[in-house]
Amino acid sequence: MKMSGNGLVIVISAPSGAGKSTLCSKLAQKLPNLYCSVSCTTRPKRPGEKDGRDYFFVSEKKFKEMIRRKELVEWACVHDHYYGIPRQFLEKNIRAGKDTVLNIDVQGALKIRRLFPGSVLIFVMTPTMAELEKRLRARKQDSDAVIRTRLRNARRELRFLPKYDYLVINDKLADALCELEAIVIAEHRRLAHLSPPRFK
């Protein structure tokens, strides 16, 4: 039985505070054939962040050069900072049969779906908005005003939920992780992703 040779493009979106980054890195640890794409950004590095792990931190000049050279699959400008997905890593991975996770917002997710119609769109959310607020406050990272903005953004992003394939509720991290893993395993068995199987 010949299997499709391409890896899956897996988009994970979540409001800030829902645990997306932790889930993505733990998922990559569990699934040896799955890799997380690292985005490029022009925003300044925050304390604790590492170049090449959290983002590739580049200058605005470099970023615009990457746009011009079509080195980004998708990019956006948010609050004067640029964010983009490097093309080479993604395309090389996919062709090599490696699953690749893109950790992007709803607008970016919809663009990826247009570019890669077979991509799998997963939305991660806390059980309630109140829980999201609680987690944002517990991080002690943002001011009240910033938290209010993040919650407003979360509500706006949730409106795009019907465009997604899956909704994973990150109540307990281990459960959410199991569900994400199951989604990846199941998607590999979907006939839509397999080249027409021939049994001899």
- String of b and e for 76-95 (b: at least 16 CB within 10 Å)? beeeeebbbbbeebbeebbe
CA-closest candidate to residue 116, choices 139, 135, 100: 100
Q: At closest approach, how far in Å is the CB of 113 from a second copy?
A: 14
d(C-alpha 160, C-alpha 69), whole Å: 31
Q: At closest approach, how far in Å is the CB of 187 from a second copy?
A: 7
Q: Which is nearer to a second copy, 47 or 196 (CB)?
A: 196
Report the length, in residues, of the chain: 200
Q: At closest approach, how far in Å is the CB of 169 from a second copy?
A: 6
Q: Which is nearer to a second copy, 131 or 142 (CB)?
A: 131
Q: Which is nearer to a second copy, 91 or 181 (CB)?
A: 181
DSSP state of 192: G
Q: At closest approach, how far in Å is the CB of 84 from a second copy?
A: 27
Q: At closest approach, how far in Å is the CB of 51 from a second copy?
A: 34
Q: Which is nearer to a second copy, 66 or 121 (CB)?
A: 121
Output the 3-class SS for 60-116: HHHHHHHHHCCCEEEEEEECCEEEEEEHHHHHHHHHCCCEEEEECCHHHHHHHHHHC
d(C-alpha 200, C-alpha 193), whole Å: 20
Q: Which is nearer to a second copy, 76 or 169 (CB)?
A: 169
* Token reading at 92: 């090389």
Applying CB under 8 A, which residues contact a second copy? Answer: 1, 125, 127-130, 155, 158, 161-162, 164-169, 178-179, 181-183, 185-187, 189-191, 194, 196-197, 199-200
Q: At closest approach, how far in Å is the CB of 128 from a second copy?
A: 6
Q: Which is nearer to a second copy, 77 or 194 (CB)?
A: 194
Cβ(4)–Cβ(196) under 8 Å? no
* Token reading at 134: 């609680």
